[in-house]
Structure 1
Amino acid sequence: MMQLTEAPKQKNSLLSSMNHFIGAVNDMDQTIMVPSLLRDIPTDEYTEMAYMKSDVDNMYSHYQLLKSLRWDMELGVSSEKRRRMEGLRRTVSSSSLLSSSEEDEDDLEKQFLYHLAGLQGVLSKLTLKANSLTRCYKQRIGI
C-alpha cells in the first residue's frame, strides 16, 4: 500500500489530503475482514452517511468504491476509466460550462486553484466516508 512519505508542511495541502484518504482506506481495508457483511447494511441506517447515496445504496458498494479510488490514486487511472472520463469531459465542454481556449489560457492559475480546492474537498469527504464505514463495521460486529 502506497502512502506518500514526505510529510507536507501544511495541514491543508494536497499531499496531506491524499495521505489522510489513503490512510483511512487502508485502515478500513484492514478492519473489514468480511466485506460481504456490508451488503445488508443500507447507508440510510447511518445518518452521518446519508449524503453518500448511490445507485446501489448499501455499505458494500461504498467499500468497493473507496478501494477502487485508492487504487486509481496509487496506480493511475486505467485506460477504460480514462475513456469514460474523456466522454464526460466532452459532454461538459459541449454544454458551454467551459469557456473558449483563449480564456482558458488566461485563467490557468484560477482553474488550477479551483480544481485543487475541489480535489481537496472531495478527498476530505472520501476520507470521512472511509472512516464512517470503518466505524459502522466495528459497531455492526461489536468491536
Structure 2
Amino acid sequence: MMMQLSDAHNQKNSLFTAMNRFIGAVNNMDQTVMVPSLLRDVPLDEDRELSSMKSDMDEGDMYSYYQLLKSIRTDMEWGVRCATVDDERRQETMMITRMNSTTSTYSSASSSSYEEDEEEEDEDLEKQFQYHLTGLQGVLSKLTQQANSLTKRYKKEIGIGGWGQ
C-alpha cells in the first residue's frame, strides 16, 4: 500500500503529467475561446498571472498570448518544425567536429583516464538532465496556470457566468 502511494506521488510529479496538464489546459482554452478575435487589443496587464508574460512578448494582448500557447502545444505534440536547411547543416558540422574531437581525444588518452572522463561525463549528463527536467516541469506548470487564467479571463470578458470557478 505504501509503495502505491509513493508511485502515485511520483507519477503526479512526472514530466508526462505536467505535459498532459498543459495540453489539457490549452485544449480547454481552445474549446472555450469561440471567437479568438475578441482577445485582440485586450491587455494582459489586468491579469497578474498573464502580465508576467508581457515582457517576453512583442505584442501585449491576450490574442497574441492565446496564439503563443496554442503554438507551444503544437510544438509539444508534433515536435519543433522550424529547422531550416542552414540550421541542419550547422548542426551536422557541429556534430562532425565533436566526433572528430572525441576521436582524437580518445586515441591520445590512456584507457584509465578515458574511463574516468566517461564517468564524469555521465555524472554531468545526469545533473544536466535533472536541471533541465526540473526547469521544464516548472515552465509547463506556469504555462498551464496561464492557459487557465486566459480561459477565465475570456469568460469574464464575454460575460459567461461562473467564470471565477
State the TM-score, normalized to the length of structure 2. Answer: 0.67
**Separation in structure 2 between the aligned mates of residue 50 and residue 34 of structure 1, nearest angstrom:** 21
Amino acid in structure 1 at the alignment position of 2:130? L
Counterpart of 2:12 in 1: which secondary structure?
coil
Identity %: 64
Number of the residue aligned with 2:15: 14
Structure 2, gaps ≥5 residues long:
1-6, 95-116, 161-165
Counterpart of 1:126 in 2: which secondary structure?
helix
What RMSD, in angstroms, separates the aligned Cα atoms of the two structures? 2.5
Which whole-Å deviations, capped at 9, do the CAs of 1:50-98 have from their partners, x for residues lacking one?
2111210000111000000100011111043894xx89xx9xxxxxxxx
Number of the residue aligned with 1:35: 36
TM-superposed CA distance for 1:49, in Å, is 1.8
* Misfit runs of 4+, over 6 Å: none
Number of the residue aligned with 1:70: 73
TM-superposed CA distance for 1:104, in Å, is 5.0
Specify which structure has the higher proportion of helix: 2
Number of the residue aligned with 1:5: none
TM-superposed CA distance for 1:134, in Å, is 0.3
**Separation in structure 2 between the aligned mates of residue 22 and residue 116 of structure 1, nearest angstrom:** 17
**Separation in structure 1 between the aligned mates of residue 132 and residue 151 of structure 2, nearest angstrom:** 28
TM-superposed CA distance for 1:128, in Å, is 0.7
**Separation in structure 1 between the aligned mates of residue 25 and residue 139 of structure 2, nearest angstrom:** 14
Aligned length: 122
Larger Rg: 2
1:140 to 157, 160, 163: 157
**Separation in structure 2 between the aligned mates of residue 81 and residue 107 of structure 1, nearest angstrom:** 30
Structure 1, gaps ≥5 residues long:
1-7, 91-101
**Separation in structure 1 between the aligned mates of residue 39 and residue 121 of structure 2, nearest angstrom:** 44
Matches within 5 A, 1:50-129: 50-53=51-54, 54-80=57-83, 83=87, 104-129=121-146
**Separation in structure 2 between the aligned mates of residue 30 and residue 42 of structure 1, nearest angstrom:** 21
